[in-house]
Amino acid sequence: MSVIVLMYHHVLPKSGFITSSVEEFEKQMRFLYENGYKTLTSEEFLKYKKGGLNVPKKSVFITFDDGWRDNYVYAYPILKKYGLKATVFIVTEWVEKASEKQEEFKVYAHKDAKKVVPVNPGRVILNWSEIDEMKDVFDFHSHTHSHRDFYFKKEYTWDEEFFLSKEIIKKRLGFDDKHLCWPKGRYNEELIKKAKKYFEILYTTKRGINKPDKYLEEIKRIAVKKDEKWIRKQLFIFNNDFLGKIYSIIKSK
Ligand SMILES: [Zn+2]
């Protein structure tokens, strides 16, 4: 038994780089709904990973990275319609800034959305009132404080990235966050050690399967592409322990 963790970024009218189209996303979610898949909450996934929760064979954990505003506009109503659950990894400094000055939502492809973040985050990043509204469908967790990577500025130390994001999540959402998703999927042994002082479970961009083996340091995820037929194939492969293992080895080469 293993659980597949799906990784999304944007849901927009047109598909593109790390972007599912609304039509594809709707088909994928309808597929999960019609085929009796259980979508796990972050708490359920953590319990499962620690070996303390039996989940149905048809279980999937849906995640979104970065906290793009299109998740509210396009993904949220679809997930809600089918009664599905998902998690968004938010960049707390972006959400704080987006909430200071809210702007009208506009559709940007990923490469343009990235450019808008530093100058006008209120246009492309979720704000706290949207997050509050989305809580019936989504869980929210840390994607660090400033999405520390080579593209965005490095203003904070790693300890600050972890600590500040936890502080803000505590203040705004009222819980002690245990889940961290690495920006750009970049990390190393030393960073894992550092992060584990603040978080219990760490999410990567590495492909593969997740078993209830208590190893919480490197959660594998599958970047979603294409339509429901693609999802069907991935679920078939990765819900099958043997095939999933072989496939992750081949694909990581
Ligand atoms: Zn990211």
Q: Tell me how far the alpha carbon of residue 89 lies from the centroid of ligand 1, in angstroms.
A: 8
User: Mean per-residue pLDDT for 27-52?
Assistant: 96
Which residue type does 173 have?
L
Q: What is the pLDDT of residues 88-119, one digit of tens each?
A: 999 999 999 999 988 899 999 999 999 999 99
Q: How far is the CA of 41 from the centre of ligand 1 (A)?
A: 20
Lowest mean pLDDT among 34-48, 50-64, 111-125, 228-242: 228-242
| Residue 151 CA to ligand 1 centre (angstroms) | 11
CATH topology of domain 4-252: TIM Barrel (3.20.20)
3-state secondary structure 182-214: CHHHCCCHHHHHHHCCCCCEEECCCCCCECCCC
Measure the CA–CA gap between 164 and 211, rounded to whole angstroms. 31
Ligand 1 centroid distance, CA of 34 (Å): 30
Distance between Cα 96 and ligand 1 center (Å): 16
- Where is average pLDDT lowest: 10-14, 15-19, 190-194? 15-19
Distance (Å) from CA 177 to ligand 1 centroid: 17
CA of 149 to the centre of ligand 1 (A): 9
For the stretch 47-90, pLDDT in tens is 999 999 999 999 999 999 999 999 999 999 999 999 999 999 99
For the chain, how far is it from start to end, CA to CA, in angstroms?
Answer: 24
